[in-house]
Chain A
């Protein structure tokens, strides 16, 4: 069974940092591009970042470019998102999901909540 389990969410002050992780199991992680998608409370889905299989291709939404860094460790079947200079508008549930350009987001984790507030 495919499983994606996010962790690392929590409450952080504006300007602070947080690191999210996504542990994958039940499929060959190294065969899939990966993404982070977020959803602000009561709002729709927003793609945040993606990383290709071998980390050669990395992309970010303009809203997080220069502040967030995506990475992966295929040996540990894990995806990461380092979030710096956090703002109130970054408050959201963060999901990891499989999929790259030309591929739909087939599998999703259950999400981890990030709240940015003083």
Chain B
């Protein structure tokens, strides 16, 4: 099983600032099958990034993903008020399809 470790657990930032979220895998993620999801309270997760760096349909270009192998990053270039949420990474290249524990981006 691939274990995904996200850091930091909580990120306290102001609107307009840049957010950098990390996801580290316990072993190499097959073919960069790494996704990022956003979840707001009371809502289902929403796909942001797939294939480590491809934006899902309708996702603003302030969201970007990078990385390969065992180290991946989600960057939010300039935080908008609606971006404050919890973010999860997930590997979907092997079973079980594991999720990281999440990073909460909160308003400072």
Contact = CB atoms under 8 A, between A and B. Distances in A.
Contacts of A108: 44-46
Contacts of B96: 47, 59, 61-62
B88 to A, nearest CB: 6
Q: Is the interface of A mostly helix, strand, loop or mixed?
A: loop
Interface string A90-115: 00000100010111111011110000
B29 to A, nearest CB: 12
Contact of B95 (A50, A105, A106, A110): A50
Nearest to A105: B47
Contacts of B97: 35, 47, 50, 99, 101
A43 B94 CA distance: 23
Q: Is the interface of B mostly helix, strand, loop or mixed?
A: loop
Interface stretch (B12-20, B31-39, B71-79): B31-39
A46 interface: yes
B94 A101 contact: yes
A103 B100 contact: no
Interface residues of A, number: 21
Interface in A72-93: none
A47 to B, nearest CB: 5
B84 interface: no
A105 B31 contact: no
Nearest to B33: A102
B31 A102 contact: yes
A105 B93 contact: no
A11 interface: no
B26 to A, nearest CB: 16
Interface of A: 35, 44-47, 50, 59, 61-62, 95, 99, 101-106, 108-111
Given A101-B97, A106-B47, 6 more contacts: A46-B99, A47-B98, A61-B96, A62-B96, A95-B45, A110-B44
